[in-house]
Amino acid sequence: MVIKTILIFLIALLGYSEWLTGTSYLQRPIVLGPLVGLVMGDMVTGTIMGATMELAMVGAISVGAYNPPDTISGTILGVSLAMQAGADASAALTLGIPIATIVLALDTALGQPVMLLLVHRIDKNVEDGDTKAITRNMLIAGYAQSWCGLLIIPLAFFFGADAVASLLNIIPDFVQTGMDVAAAFLPALGFAMLAQMIMNKTVAPFFFAGFFLVAYFGISTTGVAIFAAIIVVAMTVLGDKKKAEQPAAATEDPAIGSGFDEF
């Protein structure tokens, strides 16, 4: 159990390193879920749970001043605790969403102030010209903003497995049914949030074309992806050809001059 807890902490550290790795999306459930499953000894189940949580959180993207729920803690604890309790993806989703919201609140209230203190210290390091201190405090500040999650995830994993298993066992059937319904509904909500952000008159026809290909012709997701790739290539080739056929802008005769007199 200690080894698993250490590995879970390292996965959390990897997720919270996303700021350092150039927006690599290491914090997404579709990435963290399989890693948690690998630690728990069932990568397939971890992948399924991670994909389910990704669908629910697909619209959880930081835009402007909006901070989305902490997908790292929600995914790692939701997937790991659900797998320890022998539950399914709906339980992982039901556990993960509240955890992600709570950790976001804690990081905002307790983590951000620590980061700001270190940022002001970096300003002082800049004035002093201390480059080593700048680098050191920058790295510490990056992780300090998420210290609550880094602390909660391994502790909750180590101490919370039995409690979660007992809780799931005493939940009535009608509540379990509600959890299943919510788990089925949240991915649709996530897609709706994503569509609201990206939908426009240029994208909409292709979106509905993909939907009807699946709904009425029974084409698989892979088939739709291949069909979409063909459309992209065709549009790119035709677009380049159209640009090449456009008449070149009239060039002026060097002998006549450009009409600009530099004297």
Give the pLDDT means over successive 10-residue stretches in the chain (263 positions).
89 88 84 92 90 79 68 89 83 82 84 87 88 89 88 86 65 69 64 70 80 82 84 80 61 51 46
Q: Full-prediction pTM beyond 0.75? A: no
Write down the pLDDT at residue 260.
46
Q: Tell me, what DSSP letter sits at residue 99? A: H
pLDDT digits (tens, 9 = 90+) for 223-248: 888 888 888 888 888 776 666 666 65
Q: Which residues of 193-228 are buried (b: 16+ CB within 10 A; e: fewer)?
A: beeeeeeeeeeeeeeeebeebeeeeebeeeebeeee
Write down the pLDDT at residue 186.
62
Write down the pLDDT at residue 221.
78
CA 155 to chain centroid: 23
Task: List the structure tokens of 48.
Answer: 């399924």
Write down the pLDDT at residue 263.
42
Between helix 2-15 and helix 29-40 the angle, nearest 10°, is: 170
d(CA 7, CA 1): 10
CA torsion through residues 96, 98, 104, 106, sign:
negative
Q: Which of 141, 146, 113 is nearest to 15 (CA)?
A: 146
d(CA 42, CA 52): 16
Write down the pLDDT at residue 27.
85
Write down the pLDDT at residue 7.
92
Task: List the structure tokens of 173.
Answer: 């059937």
